[in-house]
């Protein structure tokens, strides 16, 4: 299980880096009134896909350690719920893709909101971002 936790911990940094790149790209596209292109859709999908992978890894770790005798401490439950909400927020561009909204604005706020929830969720863990 240690390897699963290690992968889960490393992947969070990949998500943060991709999320920061996405927020800058979406903000620039929104300000410059650019066309939301293929690369933008790929960046949005890539970010939400990484978050989904992280959630799956986290849920597996949560269930295996919890049912394996460690139980389900409150910080672990808080982290899990916060990250599930972050995953939902990360999918907002896909949810609103048919609506006549600015896709850059929706994507910008979705990634920013997901990153904020991820920051809070990790900070609630013992050791927080220093783990």
Question: How would you label 80-89 residue by residue, b for 16+ Cβ within 10 Å and e otherwise?
Answer: bebbeebbbb
Reported as a pLDDT band with limits 50, 70 and 90, residue 98 is: confident
| Average of per-residue pLDDT values in the chain | 93
pLDDT of residue 63: 92
For residue 59, the model assigns a pLDDT of 95
Q: Can you give the pLDDT at residue 24? A: 97
Structural domain of 121:
2-29+36-130
What does the pLDDT look like over 114-131, one tens digit per residue?
999 999 999 989 888 887
Q: Give me the number of domains the chain comprises.
A: 1
Q: Are 121 and 86 in contact (CB under 8 A)?
A: yes
pLDDT at site 53: 97
Contacts of residues 12-16 at CB distance under 8 Å and 24 or more positions apart, as own/partner, are 12/54, 12/118, 12/122, 14/50, 15/47, 15/50, 15/51, 15/54, 15/118, 16/115, 16/118
Half-sphere exposure of 69 (CA within 13 A, CB side): 0
The pLDDT value recorded for residue 72 is 87
């Amino acid at each position: 299980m240690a390897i699963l936790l290690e992968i889960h911990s490393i992947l969070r940094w990949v998500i943060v880096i991709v999320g920061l790149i996405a927020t800058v790209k979406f903000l620039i596209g929104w300000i410059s009134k650019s066309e939301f292109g293929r690369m933008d859709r790929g960046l949005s999908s890539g970010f939400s896909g990484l978050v989904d992978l992280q959630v799956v890894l986290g849920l597996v770790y949560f269930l295996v350690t919890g049912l394996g005798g460690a139980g389900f401490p409150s910080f672990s439950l808080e982290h899990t719920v916060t990250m599930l909400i972050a995953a939902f927020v990360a999918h907002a561009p896909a949810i609103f893709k048919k609506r006549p909204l600015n896709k850059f604005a929706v994507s910008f706020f979705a990634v920013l909101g997901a990153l904020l929830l991820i920051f809070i969720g990790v900070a609630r863990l013992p050791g927080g971002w220093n783990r």
